[in-house]
Structure 1
Amino acid sequence: MKKKETKLPELQFPNAELLPEIVKMLNEGHTITLRLRGFSMRPFLEDNRDKALFTKPILENLKVGDPVLAETMPSHFVLHRIINIEGEKVTLLGDGNLISEHCKLEDIRGAIVGFYRKNSPTLDRIDGRKWKTYSTVWMKLRPIRRILLGFYRRLWIPLFGAI
């Protein structure tokens, strides 16, 4: 007998409405899986394809290289990687961005446990070897990111699709 698959409906809301509610739930101790929107973490995380598993951040445990959900301005949230922490000042940069953003440590609203990429049921944890290797390499390539991202957008995606 075949097992019947149940497809759960997905709802979409503007980030400005949804993310404050997500933050409330994180602060209550819930973990949340959320489909990603936007291109700031390209090339490895894609808009409307990949998902992130969020948890409440433990601020003293955050370190350079960690991807986080931050509120950089009131009701403006970004999922970026921490590239620098100086006291309470945090510098963020999306993997697909060339310009950094800033916030305070207290503005970090969510920590990332891992990502579900390419509709895989397996979580790629940020403390796993795969993510750590990718992160180390990608952060060292920052001086030539503009070239790599241009190649990815203009040639790779049209020929092969998103990676």
Structure 2
Amino acid sequence: MQKDYLNTTEVQFANADLLPEVVTLLNEGHTVTLRLRGFSMRPFLEDNRDKALLIKPSTINVGDPVLCEIAPLHFVLHRIIKIDGEDITLRGDGNIGVEHCKRENVLGAVIGFYRKNRKRLDRTDGWKWRLYSYVWTRLFPLRRYILGIYRRLWIPLFGTI
């Protein structure tokens, strides 16, 4: 019996090309799994390793990780740190600085992450994510140093978390 093998090819697109299509799918009511690019959500989410499961946002709260368009065709997936009426302030877990957008520019809400190539979803409403969020957001003044140690010592010795 002959076995048929499925060949797959991974294709990468620029965020400005891909993410408007992702937003269209979210607006149609679909969920979208998106491979993460960049280092702004370190140390727990890594570039080209982890994936986010997104839905169209219905409600947003401080602490939620969201997909936002902070400038035309410039998208980020960061955590909400402040909501002031229609104004939203965002910060990546691995960033010191902040970004700003309007409520209408929050295009996707993350309901969970697939970390370390696992098949099991780490839900953002689960105890693990809530505990991590509680601790990590309160370490803000010290995060710069923790991230420096992680980047300069931990990754060269042990790889990513």
TM-score range, shorter chain: over 0.9
* Paired positions, count: 159
| Aligned Cα root-mean-square deviation (Å) | 1.5
Q: Shift of residue 10 of structure 1? A: 2.5
Equivalent residue for 1:22? 22
SS in 2 for 1:12: coil
Any unmatched runs of 5+ in structure 1? none
Change in 2 beyond 3 A, CA 1:5/1:141? farther
- For 1:148 and 1:109, how far apart are their aligned partners in 2? 31
Change in 2 beyond 3 A, CA 1:5/1:43? farther
- For 2:66 and 2:11, how far apart are their aligned partners in 1? 23
Q: Shift of residue 11 of structure 1? A: 1.9
Q: Give the TM-score taking structure 2 as reference length.
A: 0.95
Q: Deviations over 1:104-158 (max 9, x none)?
A: 1110010001000000000000000000000000000001111011001000000
Change in 2 beyond 3 A, CA 1:7/1:143? farther
Change in 2 beyond 3 A, CA 1:11/1:65? same
SS in 2 for 1:70: strand
Aligned residue identity for 2:17? E
- For 2:97 and 2:107, how far apart are their aligned partners in 1? 21
- For 1:23 and 1:108, how far apart are their aligned partners in 2? 10
Equivalent residue for 1:136? 134
Q: Give the TM-score taking structure 1 as reference length.
A: 0.94
Aligned residue identity for 1:119? N
Equivalent residue for 2:124? 126
Change in 2 beyond 3 A, CA 1:162/1:68? same
1:38-53 correspondence to structure 2 within 5 Å: 38-53=38-53
Change in 2 beyond 3 A, CA 1:157/1:142? same
Any unmatched runs of 5+ in structure 2? none
Equivalent residue for 1:69? 67
Change in 2 beyond 3 A, CA 1:87/1:161? same
